């Protein structure tokens, strides 16, 4: 390596440089931003998480939890971006962690990343299947099982993933803009009108007393979950135009946009009911079995009944966009691991569009294996598949954030490639502390998060470090075998 950069070019475990590379110069800042926002599934996050955060979290103070979560992620991003200037690889997390904490730990974290992306995607298939099945039944009168639409969509996602990164970005852009437009229009109109029956309620939402009332940890937990997926900025580094500029800009922009969006929209939702009434309204929506009512009702009051026809469709497209985004992230992890010799060589094969075709097929097969057992067992896809896998996916991602922050500190203390204290020590350390606190909160409230029993919660929590250890052990065996040749 030279004095400025780390050699992050793709190499196999034996050190030979393979020919397989992803398509260069395919994405700009906005293209990457759309992938990140799609992984967030904005309407899904608002309609699914905000009612719960308000009802059983800290009530009208929930919007402040989104701002606080954004601050923690922003601190994490400082070190994440600093590392990204020297390491460009489709493996992102595991590559970063490996540079600081050793390649065995890095490879173990790759298993955790795959586990996180695949479980979250499977969770989204559960909610998506129910949503589409309901829409089809509403408009045609034909009742179909949720899993039919999940399986059909897996085929569609596989085709789009193989079609190339630019096509996926364009499709996601349409869906994301539609979601953002209607939610942002509602929030802006509410703001201009001065809020709801009790005004904007700034103090009732953002004062320290409002933030700390009720169960702020639960609200923070759901707020952090809404940030999940922003790290895709680094995953697409190899396919970005001038990645040393594009990835940092896309990262900071995505964190700022996601934080501002969720905090603003949730604030205006609380305001539309009135801070003193919002908690009860969210509770009624949850008790009625459809949390989306808390979000859809004030928007319909603002714009008319047509909203009840449009928003469920946008919820389905929101979920589809998120599913496609996680498919693209997961298959790039498989591709990158194969390229380094940790997985079979066939996974590094690319089609004519420089898309990881075989890795995409394997990722789709994993989705089938995760989703089908719930269908065969007749389990409720929302109360089990969606709740369990989204919870464990968030916990896994928090572990990756923590390990990355620690790795950033170790890497720059060792390499001295960047000696800025704030970027390479202070911000990563503060981010690690904040993320550790979030992990503690998530574990303490995990049974509530997944809506399951304590035994199920315990097994799901144990699964995360177990995957880390299994991945690290498998990688160590591969490295030892390669060294013995």
User: Can you tell me which residue has the tokens 């998480």?
Assistant: 49
**Separation in Å, CA 237 to CA 116, 249, 258, 273, 433:** 20, 12, 20, 43, 27
- Predicted pLDDT at 1: 37
Closest CA to 366 of 321, 336, 334: 334
* Spatial distance between the Cα atoms of 26 and 37, rounded to a whole number of angstroms: 18
SS3 call for 66: helix
| Whether the predicted pLDDT of 202 surpasses 80 | yes
**Average pLDDT, integer, range 355-370:** 88
Give the number of C-alpha atoms closer than 13 A to the C-alpha of residue 224, restricted to the C-beta side: 31
Q: For 219-270, give the DSSP string.
A: HHHHHHHHHTTTTHHHHTGGGBSSHHHHHHHHHHHHHHHHHHHHHHHHHHHH
What is the pLDDT, as a whole number, of residue 89? Answer: 57
* pLDDT score, position 7: 40
Averaged pLDDT, 23-49: 68
Where is pLDDT greater, at 407 or 20?
407
> What is the distance of C-alpha 80 from the center of its chain?
16
Q: Which two tokens stand for residue 128?
A: 């998506």
Our CA angle for 100, 105, 108, nearest 5°, is 140
The pLDDT value given to residue 138: 87
Residue found under tokens 């096509």: 167
* Six-digit token string for 105: 């730990």
Model pLDDT, residue 27: 58
Question: With pLDDT > 70 as the criterion, what percentage of the chain qualifies?
Answer: 84
Strands (E), 326-394: none
pLDDT digits (tens, 9 = 90+) for 46-92: 987 899 889 988 999 999 999 999 999 999 989 888 887 777 655 56
Between 383 and 471, residue with greater pLDDT: 471
- Residue 282, exposed/middle/buried by CB under 10 A (0-12, 13-18, 19+)? buried
* Angle, vertex CA 480, rays to CA 479 and CA 482, nearest 5: 65
Q: Comparing C-alpha atoms, which of 58, 427, 74 is closest to residue 222?
A: 58
CA 188-192-197 angle, 5° bins: 105
Q: How far is CA 159 from CA 37, 151, 153, 174, 229, in A?
A: 21, 13, 10, 18, 22
> Please, which contacts does 141-146 make with residues 24 or more away whose CB atoms are closer than 8 Å?
145/375, 146/375, 146/381
Residue in 93, 449, 66 with CA at minimum distance from that of residue 268: 66
Q: Other C-beta atoms within 10 Å of 436: how many?
A: 15
* Residue-level length of the chain: 485
pLDDT for res 464: 95
Question: Mean pLDDT in the chain?
Answer: 83
Helix ranges (H only) for 274-356 are 275-287, 293-303, 307-339
Judged by average pLDDT, the poorest of 70-79, 245-254, 465-474 is 245-254
Which of these ranges, 87-91, 185-189, 205-209, 365-369, has the smallest mean pLDDT? 87-91
């Amino acid at each position: 390596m030279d004095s400025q950069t780390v050699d992050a070019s793709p190499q196999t475990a034996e050190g030979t440089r393979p020919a397989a590379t992803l398509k260069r110069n395919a994405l700009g800042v906005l293209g990457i931003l759309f992938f990140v926002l799609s992984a967030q599934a904005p309407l899904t996050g608002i309609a699914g998480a905000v009612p719960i955060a308000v009802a059983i979290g800290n009530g009208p103070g929930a919007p402040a939890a989104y701002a606080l979560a954004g601050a923690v992620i922003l601190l994490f991003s400082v070190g994440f971006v600093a590392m990204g200037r020297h390491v460009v690889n489709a493996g992102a997390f595991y590559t970063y962690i490996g540079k600081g904490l050793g390649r065995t730990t890095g490879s173990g974290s790759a298993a955790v990343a795959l586990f996180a992306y695949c479980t979250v995607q499977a969770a989204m298939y559960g909610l998506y299947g129910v949503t589409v099945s309901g829409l089809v039944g509403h408009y045609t009168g034909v009742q179909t099982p949720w899993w039919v639409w999940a399986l059909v969509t897996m085929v569609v996602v596989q085709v789009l993933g193989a079609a190339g990164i630019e096509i996926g970005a364009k499709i996601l852009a349409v869906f994301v803009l539609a979601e953002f437009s209607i939610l942002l229009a509602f929030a802006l109109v509410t703001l201009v009108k001065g809020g709801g029956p009790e005004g904007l309620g700034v103090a009732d939402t953002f004062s320290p007393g409002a933030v700390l009332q009720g169960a702020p940890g639960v609200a923070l937990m759901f707020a952090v979950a809404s940030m999940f997926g922003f790290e895709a900025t680094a995953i697409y580094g190899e396919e970005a135009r001038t990645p040393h500029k594009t990835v940092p800009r896309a990262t900071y922009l995505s964190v700022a946009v996601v934080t501002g969006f969720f905090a603003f929209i949730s604030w205006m939702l609380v305001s539309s009911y009135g801070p003193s009434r919002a908690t009860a309204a969210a509770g009624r929506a949850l008790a009625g079995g459809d949390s989306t009512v808390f979000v859809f009702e004030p928007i319909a009051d603002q714009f008319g009944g047509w909203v009840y026809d449009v928003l469920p469709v946008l919820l389905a497209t929101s979920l589809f966009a998120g599913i496609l985004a996680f498919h693209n992230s997961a298959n790039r992890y498989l591709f990158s691991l194969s390229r380094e010799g940790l997985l079979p060589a066939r996974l590094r094969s690319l089609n004519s569009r420089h898309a990881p075709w075989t890795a995409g097929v394997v990722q789709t097969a994993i989705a089938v294996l995760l989703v089908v057992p719930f269908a065969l067992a007749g389990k409720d896809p929302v109360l089990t598949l969606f709740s369990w896998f989204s919870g464990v996916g968030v916990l896994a991602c928090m572990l990756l954030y923590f390990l990355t922050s620690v790795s950033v500190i170790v890497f720059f203390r060792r390499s001295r490639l960047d000696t800025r204290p704030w970027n390479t020590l202070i911000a990563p350390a503060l981010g690690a502390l904040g993320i550790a606190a979030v992990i503690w909160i998530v574990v303490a409230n995990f049974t509530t998060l997944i809506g399951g029993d304590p035994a199920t919660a315990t097994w799901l929590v144990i699964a995360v470090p177990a995957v880390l250890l299994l991945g690290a052990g498998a990688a160590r065996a591969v490295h030892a075998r390669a060294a013995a040749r």
